[in-house]
Structure 1
């Protein structure tokens, strides 16, 4: 037998003999064209694909990844790489955990910087298949192997790593933001929009208000600029959605800073959003939702300035919306105002007791987990200020557990200090629960 793929052919032919199959039987049972299989086994053409090799493995009762260590012979000849074969090969190696095959290929590929694009293409396929842990390694290899700091491929790899890193670990999320931020403007425009929105959301959850304002401004400006160019942009969502989100987060960041009058300007902007061109049905729905949020947030700003006369009206509004996420946001506002201006909202808390019990379901979402921890802290403060110490301590412990789980150091230290303030009134069980959490420095 001739050719560099001789060992692979030998293994296949040995299995054919062992199972008593002729070539036509193997071709039929494995779903492979008999002519292609014949040419591959005779070394006439390098025609076997990784999919065909997987089919043969299944036919012969072999484990997934069978003969992968020999398959590079199908991808390389005299230092020339077959991109068409190598990309699916690397993807399948990653899916089956054949790291022993991946690393030698990477080592050879990286001898020529142009070959980094092969690793990137495989990473993209893994990402689309949601094989994120495997894709993460591939993207890091691309980053390490790319010398051009302005490469679009490099920027996209950083963006993908940022997305993969997002979770409820606050410290990890912040590191991911810092790492990706310098590359955001090097992305293609359709990805820039999605990236800016995700950066804004991540920083909002982290309470990094400077960054929220910066990315929100960029998001609104870029979406409007792209609209004015009249060029068709294949973005994930309609441009008006990104524009409205930019205004929404800008207003929210100003609200968090206590700049309520400035915030109202942006809230009115997305509550009465006008767009230079006709909107499709999906975009129109987004605009209608922004109007709903705008009305709710104008209520929010009124409540935060101490207007307790509209509390019940506000409660009616969020109840009518009937979205647990909006109820959570509304109750944070109500509690914050009650704590600031010293009035009772017991009747509101009672009204939404069922919804409050369901808030734990938000703890795996970046934005909602941030809201949940803020709700528990404000509720703990509210209970303490109304003399319900035991309930306040319970809420503090709940808040502390969330801060611990989410690795939010500032919230963790703040909850610890709050518990210590009322520790003398704690039950043995509450103290026991508190002591299970380690001491952290500010």
Structure 2
């Protein structure tokens, strides 16, 4: 195969009339190296970058001769990872799936080569090519027999993160697939895994599961905090734990999701206990600049959520103050607050028309949210607003809001929301009958 690859390059060189010196100048490949690559006995192996340089000089498309390249890095004696991984990464970039499949089938003949596929997946993931990394993590999961090996567990975690989207059913399947492996991760990754599980389950309205993962997260963060403090006090050697975010963030988020899950189940007094914890996290040690910023963010969230719980409990005395506070918050926090206000208005039957008018421009921008939690909040807001409009007898507005949230439910593949939609319109039908009967009596 070395012969065929170099034969094709040589044909193109002669066709263009390039000397080795000229070809070296055009490709940027050192003259000595170029001579060894094309004429050495045995020839010097070329990199995928050098093959791309030949393709560019000869006016060929990206991926030219890639099908002939594998033997530059694969042989019965050894595999050259420094050449193979960049080659596979380039195959991903230029869409040469045929080459990838050929190489992978060869690699999987030896279980040890699973680590090469894992290394490639990690490289793609770290570069932000999450979608592209998925098939390689799947190769690892499907072919690694040891479910406790580091690369198997990490592949489960990376796959969980990479495939999260807006489809509710797929996200739930993703949670079910990954969750058994969460405790096998190193603690720094385990913190983020528990945070993501709590977050996704909250967006899926799995309140109990979100609360459970919140409990696990806050307890793990507290344990890690204690261990890190003990390590520093005893001057123990070793690298400090480096999670994706400051440790205080995970501690606070564990309490936040636990409290939010209780709130969504109507357990407002219990939820207040958790809000009080993350309202003041200044006592948390090991705070760097980023950590202190997180402490301030939690103060803001705690204030908003304290108002929320009061309003949901029927305390309308704080409503005006709450609305003034919401006006100072970003749109995503305003959306969360508006859900609580609409839900309370529907429960305790008070008017919020002025509030809806006040925030009309912000409400019109709720379509900007495209991630799972933002979409779920928007969905809840439209549902509560539809109920409110029907309750006010404004049927056309109620229908508009219902159609709005049905379109969001369809976007998120939330079949449960479609059933709610049907029930809502059943209620509308009964309301119309009551209105009609009242009109007949009045006539």
TM-score between both structures, scaled by the size of structure 1:
0.92
Q: Which residue of 2 aligns with 1:329?
A: 336
141-150 vs 75-84, greater mean Cα deviation: 75-84
Q: Is the 8 A contact 1:390 1:425 kept in 2?
A: no
1:403 maps to 2:409:
yes
Q: Is the 8 A contact 1:219 1:243 kept in 2?
A: yes
Q: Which residue of 1 aligns with 2:251?
A: 243
The two structures, once aligned, show a CA RMSD in angstroms of 1.6
Q: Which residue of 2 aligns with 1:65?
A: 63
Separation of aligned partners in 2, 1:212 and 1:326 = 19
Length, aligned pairs only: 421
Separation of aligned partners in 1, 2:341 and 2:430 = 29
Q: Is the 8 A contact 1:36 1:48 kept in 2?
A: no
Separation of aligned partners in 2, 1:131 and 1:300 = 39
Q: Which residue of 2 aligns with 1:127?
A: 125
Q: Is the 8 A contact 1:400 1:416 kept in 2?
A: no
Q: Which residue of 1 aligns with 2:13?
A: 16
1:342 maps to 2:349:
yes
Q: Which residue of 2 aligns with 1:30?
A: 27
Q: Which residue of 2 aligns with 1:389?
A: 395
Separation of aligned partners in 1, 2:386 and 2:81 = 59
Superposition deviation, residue 45 in structure 1: 4.7
1:294-309 → structure 2 map (5 Å cutoff) = 294-309=302-317
Q: Which residue of 1 aligns with 2:38?
A: 41
Deviations 1:253-273 (A, max 9, x none): 111111111111110100011
2:191 alignment partner, one of 179, 190, 193: 193
For structure 1, list consecutive stretches of 5 or more residues without a partner in the other structure: 427-442
SS at match of 1:422: helix
Superposition deviation, residue 130 in structure 1: 3.2
1:256-275 → structure 2 map (5 Å cutoff) = 256-275=264-283
Separation of aligned partners in 2, 1:7 and 1:189 = 50
TM-score between both structures, scaled by the size of structure 2:
0.92
Q: Which residue of 2 aligns with 1:75?
A: 73
Separation of aligned partners in 2, 1:342 and 1:376 = 17
For structure 2, list consecutive stretches of 5 or more residues without a partner in the other structure: 229-238, 433-443
36-45 vs 184-193, greater mean Cα deviation: 36-45
Change (3 A) 1:306 1:142: same
Deviations 1:138-191 (A, max 9, x none): 111111110101112111211222122211111111111111111112222222
Q: Which residue of 2 aligns with 1:282?
A: 290
1:359-370 → structure 2 map (5 Å cutoff) = 359-362=366-369, 364-370=370-376
Separation of aligned partners in 1, 2:59 and 2:186 = 46
Deviations 1:239-280 (A, max 9, x none): 111111111111111111111111111101000114442422
2:423 alignment partner, one of 417, 421, 425: 417
